[in-house]
Amino acid sequence: MAQPASRLESAPPLPSLIGMNPDQLAHAVGQCGGRPFNGGQLAQWLYKRRVADLGAMSDLPKALRVTLAEKFSTITSQVIARQESGEGTTKLGLRLHDGLVIECVLMREHDTDDVSGPPDRLTICISTQAGCAMGCRFCASGRLGLKRHLSAGEILEQFFHVADLLRQEGAAQGRPESWLTNVVVMGMGEPLHNFDGLMGALEVVNAEWGFHFGARRVTVSTVGLPDRIRELAGQGYQFNLAVSLHATTDEQRTSLIPTNAGTGLKAIIAAAADYFRVSRREVTFEYTLVGESNDAPDDALRLAELLRDFPRGNVNLIPMNPVEGSGLKEPTAQAVEEFTRLLRQRGVNVHVRRKRGRRVLAACGQLRLQLESASGSPVSG
């Protein structure tokens, strides 16, 4: 972990305005001598205009802005690196107030092969923790263990950094700024392990007064914590659920994901089925293909069998992105093809994830490993 540069940096952060609902914003404004309607103005600036700089909020009284800045924080993280894949993916490395580093990613996607026009989808991939406690062997995020949960405000700050990026792009191209169409919680960390932070952020993401993304445009990816999957179902949202399965026997899964020892495949699939029953949302099972580990034809057959009775599910195959020092291999193109063919033959709905952004070390956590070993590195374009 990087050492804080000053005492100020290590002081506990002030409560953040980012993440507050309109009532809480009105209360915060009241504490600073403002009028209740100023809370509504603040919500507009934050969640509709995506501006977090109090100095820019020109219709709020100056004195109020000064007092707000003394009592509350807004953006506490800083962009310290930026990597472009050349395939429409931009990854940002963010330094948190305490020196920890996280990542968020912007993906620009076209629905067809014609990539000349503006992208059809702009997706943000957000982190929910600094580090991760799950320890998946093929994942760089868990390499250094869990450092801490992100607050709802810190999770949401990632949207503001991407908004800045899109605003700069729009200005450079002489057009209005574009905005995100989709949200995936697939960055660093296990979202359901930081349940409160996640739910606080997703409330703002989904709410009419907030960023207002329809629940169907939001996907939460989990390593598979059965109790928390049911708790998520009980929240009354219709978020898409992606479950990282990655194996077809418990022995194999535990060797890739140590925390599986305490859960087990059957319990995860049962919880995912409950999620479908409550939310009526199709569940995606993610399967990272690791060469000579879980990519054999027998694995494909067992996977089809495991999901045979699943009410409505589909499989997302992700050829492993190599992670230095993991001792794991990428699958061969033939293995990926055969795995896909066998699943399709058995009626499983399969997608193979393109290797997007390999050049920006797309697999989660890899940029951060680099940045933390060279802490304080400047922003690179």
Q: Taking each helix axis from N to C terminus, what angle separates 265-279 and 226-233, rounded to the nearest 10 degrees?
A: 0
Among 202, 2, 186, CA closest to 97: 2
- Coil, strand or helix at 23: helix
DSSP string, 264-319: -HHHHHHHHHHHHHHH-PPEEEEEEE-BTTT-SHHHHHHHHHHTTT-SSEEEEEEE
Distance CA 227, CA 300 (A): 27
**Least distance (Å) between residue 66 CB and ligand SAH:** 40
Indicate the residue among 43 and 300 with the shorter CB distance to ligand SAH: 300
Indicate the residue among 39 and 319 with the shorter CB distance to ligand SAH: 319
**Least distance (Å) between residue 298 CB and ligand SAH:** 21
Residue type, 95: R
Indicate the residue among 64 and 241 with the shorter CB distance to ligand SAH: 241
**Least distance (Å) between residue 336 CB and ligand SAH:** 12
Contact criterion met (CB below 8 Å) for 142 and 131: yes
**Annotated catalytic sites, by residue?**
103, 364
State residue 147 phi and psi, 5-degree precision: -90, -55
For the chain, how many residues are written?
381
**Least distance (Å) between residue 218 CB and ligand SAH:** 14
Indicate the residue among 307 and 318 with the shorter CB distance to ligand SAH: 318
- Coil, strand or helix at 349: coil
DSSP secondary structure letter of residue 360: G
**Least distance (Å) between residue 102 CB and ligand SAH:** 12
Q: H-helix or E-strand containing 91?
A: strand 89-95
Indicate the residue among 278 and 328 with the shorter CB distance to ligand SAH: 328
**Least distance (Å) between residue 368 CB and ligand SAH:** 12
Task: Give the residues lining the site for ligand SAH (CB under 6 A).
Answer: 136, 138-139, 186, 190, 221-223, 244, 286, 288, 318, 320-321, 323, 363-364
122-142 CB burial, b ≥16 within 10 A, e <16 = bbbbbbbbbbbbbbbbbbbbb
The two most distant CA atoms of the chain are separated, in Å, by 68
Indicate the residue among 76 and 284 with the shorter CB distance to ligand SAH: 284
Q: Give the CB-nearest residue to ligand SAH.
A: 363
